[in-house]
Amino acid sequence: MRAVLQRVSRASVTVEGKVTGEIGPGLMILICAMEGDTDAKADQLAAKIAKMRIFKDEAGKMNLSIRDIGGAALVVSQFTLAADLRGNRPGFSTAAKPDEGKRLYDYFSDRLRAEGVPVENGIFGANMDVSLNNDGPVTIWMDV
């Protein structure tokens, strides 16, 4: 699985004029299930994200996890993270097929909740308007 994490002060997703997910301080997580990904990879990614110390402590050091700060995650599906950029037009053949991608997206969100992180979501496959305030900025790319 591939993810881009952005530490945010707030973030939201709107689909067809309706807010489908909204958080205050926490993480915006753009997620892509790749061909061949498994539940075990989603488990590994959720556990790592829940424990990752990328939030500031009282001394201003990145020493706290999303759980430590009582933050939430906004999880948004983004198959374009699988882009193959060898030519001028990106290809996405390494992304999981839509049915499996949605299943793993939902599974990952559930696993992150099981790790003690409140989760909001976008809508898989929808054209989404994503808004966020990147805090830091802190942006981290992950592959598992």
Please tell me the total count of domains within the chain. Answer: 1
* Average pLDDT over every residue of 70-74: 98
Per-residue confidence (pLDDT) for residue 141, from 0 to 100: 96
Predicted TM-score of the model (pTM): 0.95
Say whether 6 is catalytic. Answer: no
Per-residue confidence (pLDDT) for residue 123, from 0 to 100: 96
User: DSSP string covering the chain, please?
Assistant: -EEEEEEEEEEEEEETTEEEEEESSEEEEEEEPBTT--HHHHHHHHHHHHH---EE-TTS-EEE-TTTTT-EEEEEE-GGGG-B-SSSS-B-TTBPPHHHHHHHHHHHHHHHHHTT--EEE--TTS--EEEEEEEEEEEEEEE-
Say whether 44 is catalytic. Answer: no
Per-residue confidence (pLDDT) for residue 125, from 0 to 100: 92
Tell me which DSSP letter residue 105 carries.
H
Give the model's confidence band at 12: pLDDT under 50 very low, under 70 low, under 90 confident, else very high.
very high
Which CATH number belongs to the domain containing residue 73 in this structure?
Answer: 3.50.80.10
Catalytic hit among 6, 20, 78, 108: 78
Give the model's confidence band at 92: pLDDT under 50 very low, under 70 low, under 90 confident, else very high.
very high
Average pLDDT of the chain is 97
Q: For residue 13, what is the enclosing H or E element?
A: strand 2-15
Give the model's confidence band at 87: pLDDT under 50 very low, under 70 low, under 90 confident, else very high.
confident
* Average pLDDT over every residue of 3-15: 98
* Average pLDDT over every residue of 54-82: 97
Quote the domain boundaries for residue 39.
2-143
pLDDT digits (tens, 9 = 90+) for 103-127: 999 999 999 999 999 999 999 999 9
* Average pLDDT over every residue of 61-69: 98
Could you tell me if 34 and 95 are in contact, meaning their C-beta atoms sit under 8 angstroms apart? yes
Does 30 score more than 90 pLDDT? yes
Catalytic hit among 6, 20, 79, 108: 79
Per-residue confidence (pLDDT) for residue 86, from 0 to 100: 86
